[in-house]
Amino acid sequence: MRRIDLHCYPGTDVWLGSQAPYVEALELYWSKPWVARTEAEVVADLERFGIEAVLVAFDVESLTGSPPCSNEYVANMRRRHPDVLLQAWGAVDPLKGEVAIAEAEEAVKVHEVLGFHFHPIIGHYRVDEEALAPLFETIDGLGVPVMIDVGTTGMGAGMPGGMGAILRHAHPEAVDALAARFPNLNIIAAHPGWPWIDEMTAVALHKANVYWELSGWAPKYFPPSLRTDIRSRLRHKIMFGSDHPSMPYERVLREWDELGYDEAVMHAVFHENAERVLGL
């Protein structure tokens, strides 16, 4: 069976440097060292598990001063390994205003990214803020999708004040409002969205242009209602993502198998929905 991972970070030293202020919190959250691997090691891991990955860039430079894991970086990494790196999500820092708009246009037209990933909690914004409308109008006009994190995050978790992050920035209601304003913009909600899984379910059911990938959580912890919806009313909406390197492929793939879905559901989740919606 083909396996498309919609949420795979590069895992290299460049990527690690882009999130430098959050390393300690991430080590505590995931209970493991948060260290970089070589590009060759990352590619070998994908090949071992038969994964075709969509890389994710990362940019919160205006808040942290850390250089981004840029659109050019993920695009070039993809070009070097086309057999396993299927595409790349670009990233722009919305707080950069007009600079972010220009970077979005360059990312699509020059670097040929699939679309854009947004991390609202860490970026300190909501995607439905009026100030961000020009950026999303540009992305909508470029005809590419977006992937937006919902729910809590390990970045800043357990730190004083959560390192300034506000969880409500990643509430599904912001995705709902964005989808209503831009009905032609395909939106992939990223992660189960805890503690608002029921709210995210409602948004995915109500908005035809909203889909959902379930990275960053061990499948065995999916609540019963979500497990049921994956095989029933959401089966044409759900897509696979890992949040690599947060969770090892060995574990996440095994636990998806242990959920006991039939072959038709697994094909839909692991590749058919992504192929249909994103043209992968």
Q: What is the pLDDT of residues 116-151, one digit of tens each?
A: 999 999 899 999 999 999 999 999 999 999 999 999
Longest dimension (CA), the chain: 48
| 232 burial via Cβ count (<10 Å: 0-12, 13-18, 19+) | exposed
Kind and range of the H or E run holding 187: strand 187-190
Count CA atoms within 13 Å of residue 81 on its CB side. Answer: 22
What H or E segment, with its residue span, contains residue 225?
Answer: helix 224-231
Residue 260 structure tokens: 């006991």
pLDDT, tens digit (0-9, with 9 covering 90-100), for 69-119: 999 999 999 999 999 999 999 999 999 999 999 999 999 999 999 999 999
To the nearest 10 degrees (0 to 180), the angle between helices 133-142 and 172-181 is 60
* Inter-residue contact 142 to 108 (CB < 8 Å): yes
Is residue 247 assigned to a domain? yes
Structural domain boundaries enclosing 77:
3-193+205-278
The mean pLDDT of 251-279, rounded to a whole number, is 98
Q: Indicate which CATH number applies to the domain containing 142.
A: 3.20.20.140
Asked whether residue 200 is domain-assigned, the answer is: no
Q: How confident is the model at residue 27 (pLDDT cuts 50, 70, 90)?
A: confident
Cα distance from N-terminal residue to C-terminal residue, the chain: 15
Please compute the mean of the pLDDT values over residues 181-205 and round it to a whole number.
98
Tens of pLDDT, residue by residue over 52-62, are 999 999 999 98
**154 found inside a domain:** yes
pLDDT at 156: 66
Backbone CA torsion sign across 157, 158, 162, 167:
positive
Whether 79 is in a domain gets the answer: yes
Residues 99, 197: Cα–Cα separation, whole Å: 34
Q: Which of 22-36, 186-200, 239-253 has the lowest mean pLDDT?
A: 22-36
Percent of the chain with pLDDT over 70: 99
Note whether residue 198 is domain-resident.
no
Q: How confident is the model at residue 172 (pLDDT cuts 50, 70, 90)?
A: very high
Q: What is the mean pLDDT of residues 163-172?
A: 90
Tell me whether residue 41 is in a domain.
yes
In a domain, 38, yes or no: yes
Helices (H) and strands (E) in the chain, counts: 14, 8
- When divided into structural domains, the chain yields a total of 1
In whole numbers, what is the pLDDT of the chain averaged over residues?
Answer: 94
How far, in Å, CA of 85 to CA of 44, rounded?
11
Instruction: State the Cα–Cα distance between residues 88 and 237, nearest whole angstrom.
Output: 20
